[in-house]
Amino acid sequence: MNAHRHAAEDAATEPRLLGPSEIRDLAQLLDVTPTKKLGQNFVHDANTVRRIVQTAGVQAGETVLEIGPGLGSLTLGLLESGASVIAVEIDKRLAAQLPHTAAIMQPGTVLTVVTDDAMRVTELPGAPERLVANLPYNVSVPVLLHLLEHFDSLQSGIVMVQAEVGYRLAAEPGSKVYGAPSVKAAWYGDWRTAGQVSRMVFWPVPNVDSVLVGFERADAPGTEAERVATFALVDAAFQQRRKMLRQSLGTALGGGSAQATTVLETAGVDPQARGEQLTVADFLRIARAV
């Protein structure tokens, strides 16, 4: 009788998310020393995890894609909300442990772990509608663009990224931080920043600030071939961001600044403008005018 009562009490008070002591124990168990190369900063604060899950608007029953689950901090928060999770982790030791952690701390939940590089996956065991991730900071933009390109099922998401990357992703034309990632991200939908996250919630403490960034997918403004052509123009324009478009796009448009001026005028874009003033729709019109 007593044993039963204690077991029930334990189940009620047992932590279902990872705090500092669980993170320490797991890292010790796996003999993991977080590496900078893989952007391994693990969240050890349950409030931050619940805030991310809530900001993302995760619904019970839906399928969420998580990139870089690490020791499982955010994964457990997603599972707690009743979502099924597909988690892509490049580090084999972390990927192998994750199903065990989930089975112990969130029994009965649905988790599929894919051990792979998120920049290379082109197939997933399911069609996730939402992306929720604390991304590895050194590759967050290419990972995001790769996922949006390959997984049409993703309709929205919240990701944690380095602050300056987050502000850039959500920037509007004319802003100082508007750049190639802002234009490319805008191809896929609407982006917003969704709050800052303290450095103190990570182990180890990173030397950069973090923000949450959200997106809602919109219909692509053009075809896949047009996207490729548009992104090439975006890269050319921002490689020489101080130059006027008739110069920065001279080579990309195939005939120096005279040819570029003609194409830009056909597209209804001022040849003396700079890339930082153009929306994704402007870049697409230039691609179509070639």
Q: Which residues of this protein are in contact with ligand SAM, per CB under 6 A?
A: 38-43, 67-70, 73-74, 88-91, 94, 117-119, 134, 136, 139
Of the two residues 41 and 248, which places its CB atom closer to ligand SAM in the complex? Answer: 41
Of the two residues 137 and 283, which places its CB atom closer to ligand SAM in the complex? Answer: 137
How near is the Cβ of 119 to ligand SAM at its closest, in Å?
A: 5
How near is the Cβ of 159 to ligand SAM at its closest, in Å?
A: 10
Of the two residues 119 and 289, which places its CB atom closer to ligand SAM in the complex? Answer: 119
Residue 198: Cβ within 10 Å count: 11
How near is the Cβ of 60 to ligand SAM at its closest, in Å?
A: 21
User: Can you say whether the dihedral through the CA atoms of 235, 245, 191, 205 is positive or negative?
Assistant: positive
Helix axes of 140-150 and 180-188: crossing angle, nearest 10 degrees: 30
Of the two residues 139 and 212, which places its CB atom closer to ligand SAM in the complex? Answer: 139
How near is the Cβ of 117 to ligand SAM at its closest, in Å?
A: 4
Which residues fall within 8 angstroms of residue 68, CB to CB, at 6 or more apart?
39, 88, 89, 90, 118, 133, 134, 135, 136
* Secondary structure of 152-198 as H, E, C letters: CCCCEEEEEEEHHHHHHHCCCCCCCCCCHHHHHHHHHEEEEEEEEEC
Determine the Cα–Cα distance for residues 193 and 156; give it in Å rounded to an integer: 13
How near is the Cβ of 235 to ligand SAM at its closest, in Å?
A: 21
How near is the Cβ of 281 to ligand SAM at its closest, in Å?
A: 31
Nearest-CB residue to ligand SAM?
68
Which residues fall within 8 angstroms of residue 26, CB to CB, at 6 or more apart?
18, 32, 71, 72, 97, 101
User: Can you say whether the dihedral through the CA atoms of 275, 276, 278, 280 is positive or negative?
Assistant: positive
Of the two residues 33 and 223, which places its CB atom closer to ligand SAM in the complex? Answer: 33
Of the two residues 70 and 275, which places its CB atom closer to ligand SAM in the complex? Answer: 70
Of the two residues 27 and 269, which places its CB atom closer to ligand SAM in the complex? Answer: 27
Of the two residues 17 and 287, which places its CB atom closer to ligand SAM in the complex? Answer: 17
Q: What is the rounded radius of gyration, in angstroms, for the C-alpha atoms of the chain?
A: 22
How near is the Cβ of 130 to ligand SAM at its closest, in Å?
A: 15
How near is the Cβ of 274 to ligand SAM at its closest, in Å?
A: 33
